[in-house]
Amino acid sequence: MTMYQVELFRTPSGKEPIAEFLRSLQPSQKARVNFVLELLAKFGPQLRAPYSKKLSGYRKLFELRTTGKISLRLIYTNVKNKFYILNVFFKKTNKTPKKEIETALVRSKTLT
């Protein structure tokens, strides 16, 4: 079975905001994030709800979703068969906050 490559966003200067956020999580939250990241690596573009959803209105942005008492969202994109996790945040509202999408869009522009 093909495994897809999944990378956490890194700034051009080498900062790792996604990795830093993930390190701050509780063990159960980390386990949930690792689970959805493994699903993305295994199924890639075939991954669907409830774990992955296209962000409507954005051609190349998708959302990885964890479940549980505290839900996390990871916004990702696919560039040349590689998946990049661009942003991660705690889900507090039904709609994905514009600010979180904007962060992902700005970060996606730095990918090659």
For residue range 60-93, list pLDDT tens digits in order: 999 999 988 889 999 999 998 899 999 999 999 8
Average pLDDT of the residues of the chain: 94
| Reported pTM | 0.94
Give the pLDDT score at 97.
95
The one-letter amino acid at 57: G
| Encoded amino acid at 8, one letter | L
For residue 69, the model assigns a pLDDT of 83
Q: What is the mean pLDDT of residues 26-39?
A: 96
Residue 1 has pLDDT above 80, yes or no: no
Nearest to 86 by CA among 59, 64, 70, 71: 64
In the structure encoding, which two tokens stand for residue 15, read together? 């900062």
Residue 14: give its domain's CATH number: 3.30.2310.20
Domain around 99 = 5-108
Segment 14-29 mean pLDDT:
96
* Overall domain count for the chain: 1
Q: What are phi and psi of 73, to 5 degrees?
A: -125, 135
* pLDDT band per the 50, 70, 90 thresholds, residue 53: very high
Give 69's contacts (C-beta < 8 A, 6+ positions apart): none
Q: What is the mean pLDDT of residues 15-40?
A: 96
